[in-house]
Amino acid sequence: MNKTIDDNYPEISVRLLKWYDHNRRNLPWRALPGEKSNPYYVLLSEIMLQQTIVATVIPYFLKFIKKWPTINHLAQANFSAISNEWSGLGYYRRAKNLHETAKIISVKYNGCIPDNTSELLTFPGIGNYTAAAITAIAFNSYENVVDGNIERIFSRLYRIENPLELSKDRIKKLAAKHVPNKRNGDYAQALMDLGSKVCISKTPRCKQCPLIFACQVAEKEEASEYPKRLPKKIKNTRYGLFFCLFDDQNSLLFTTNKDKGLLSNMDMIPSKGWYESENRLESSPLNISKKLSFLGLEWRVLPNEVIHTFTHFKLHCTIAYYKIKDKRGIEQLNLDFPFRFVKQIDFKHLALPTLMKKIIKSVNDSKI
């Protein structure tokens, strides 16, 4: 017969830590058993892991620490180099926040990352979860660290029937009861590993779980239904018109986004109709009218759209293209920065979001 959770708060953390000692994941930012964590590695990884899975983050993390081995190196880096290395990781505002945080820590804290949540919370892009995770893992502080994986664990342990969107505060209070007085960093990481390896979303591996003795849905068919969720909202649809302008050397025209908003500081193919709140396109254009035209050129449209999904909307991309035949035609455009032509061989130096990579691939595949 399963023991009750309320009678076994200490036993849950003890069993979980014992399991962790034999089943911990080997991650490049994680300290080896008995060693102290590198606070820079922890901060960098936690910011990269915001809304991004571990497998995706690992190669980016390794690139960053090779190029910028300390937070002072990162603070002194040119942001264009950072955004270029971040390209493809998504949620690009994180890169800017990371750089700003590194500069603050380098100047104000002499390169030493603060060991308390109140100071960490003053840095751009660091919220309650990230601050708690950094202080627990990097400094072994007493913190209640709760992310999506951990919410799933406690929703199952306590069989929480209310949808997750309505029960986050309750889960956080329940989780706080189980935080041990020692090994706080290991405990937080143990919960993360349990959620990643055992108490997984669709097919929980209950027989492998060290907390099966206390879980209220363990080995039950409905276990995969927890946490309960509110019905998904249908994503809005937007329509964008992207202008691929090639010069006489087959270089492609790019611009750089502003230091705010969606895809901030990223290198982009010029576009209309989707980015700003005003003058939104209501559908995908079949041809380019004078009103829609960019630079007054006679654009042609590729037959196939590119569809890209952002967090809050789905974007249908119409791709228009035009090739300039000679240098005189380029000079007549009177283009100023941030517009510039870039050779295909130099695309690797750009900070290209995944959306741009999809569009470039579609253009290359069309062999125009």
Task: Give one DSSP letter per residue of 295-321, joined into a string.
Answer: TT---EE-SS-EEEE-SSEEEEEEEEE
How many folded domains does the chain comprise? 2
Both 203 and 302 in a single domain? Answer: no
pLDDT digit of tens for each residue in the chain (368 aa)?
Answer: 445 555 556 889 999 999 999 999 999 999 999 899 999 999 999 999 998 999 999 999 999 999 999 999 999 999 989 988 998 888 888 999 999 999 999 999 999 999 999 999 999 999 999 999 999 999 999 999 999 999 999 999 999 999 999 999 999 999 999 999 899 999 999 999 999 999 999 999 999 999 999 999 999 999 999 999 999 888 899 999 999 999 989 999 999 988 777 888 889 999 999 988 888 999 999 888 888 899 989 999 999 999 999 988 999 999 999 999 887 777 777 777 788 999 999 998 888 989 999 999 999 998 87
- Residue 154 sits at φ, ψ, to 5 deg, of -75, -25
Both 265 and 207 in a single domain? Answer: no
Amino acid at 9: Y
Which domain-ending residue is among 192, 225, 258? 225
CATH of the domain at 285: 3.90.79.10
Both 162 and 305 in a single domain? Answer: no
Both 250 and 217 in a single domain? Answer: no
Both 288 and 160 in a single domain? Answer: no
Residue 147 lies in a domain: yes
Residue 2 lies in a domain: no
Both 240 and 328 in a single domain? Answer: yes
- Residue 267 sits at φ, ψ, to 5 deg, of -85, 130
In Å, how far from its chain's centre is CA 47? Answer: 8
What distance in Å separates the CA atoms of residue 132 and residue 147, rounded to the nearest whole number? 10
| Residues 320, 301 contacting (CB under 8 angstroms) | yes
Which domain-ending residue is among 200, 225, 250? 225
Residue 305: how many CB atoms within 10 A of its CB?
16
Spatial CB neighbours of 261, under 8 Å, sequence gap ≥ 6:
275
Phi-psi category of 279—alpha, beta or left, where left has phi over 0 and alpha has psi -120 to 50?
Answer: left
The predicted pLDDT at position 1 comes to: 40
Is the four-CA dihedral 43, 48, 52, 58 of positive or negative sign?
Answer: negative
Of 11, 35, 46, 276, the active-site residue reads 46
Residue found by looking up tokens 């209950």 in the block: 206
Residue 356 lies in a domain: yes
The predicted pLDDT at position 4 comes to: 54
Residue 3 lies in a domain: no
Residue 231 lies in a domain: no
Strand 271-272 to 236-246 pairing: antiparallel
Both 221 and 251 in a single domain? Answer: no
Cα dist from 167 to 130, 173, 230, 232, 317, whole Å? 20, 10, 11, 16, 38
Both 172 and 282 in a single domain? Answer: no
Q: Record the tokens describing residue 170, joined without a space.
A: 């309750």
CA proximity to 13, closest of 152, 160, 258, 182: 182
The predicted pLDDT at position 265 comes to: 83
Helix, strand, or coil (residue 210):
coil
Which domain-ending residue is among 225, 259, 274? 225
Spatial CB neighbours of 234, under 8 Å, sequence gap ≥ 6:
none
The predicted pLDDT at position 155 comes to: 97
The predicted pLDDT at position 234 comes to: 86
Range of the domain at 347: 236-366
Q: Confirm whether 305 is a catalytic residue.
A: no
Both 203 and 245 in a single domain? Answer: no
Residue 112: how many CB atoms within 10 A of its CB?
12
Residue 1 lies in a domain: no
What distance in Å separates the CA atoms of residue 339 and residue 355, rounded to the nearest whole number? 18
Q: Record the tokens describing residue 199, joined without a space.
A: 């108490």
Residue 107 lies in a domain: yes
| Residues 268, 254 contacting (CB under 8 angstroms) | yes
Both 20 and 152 in a single domain? Answer: yes
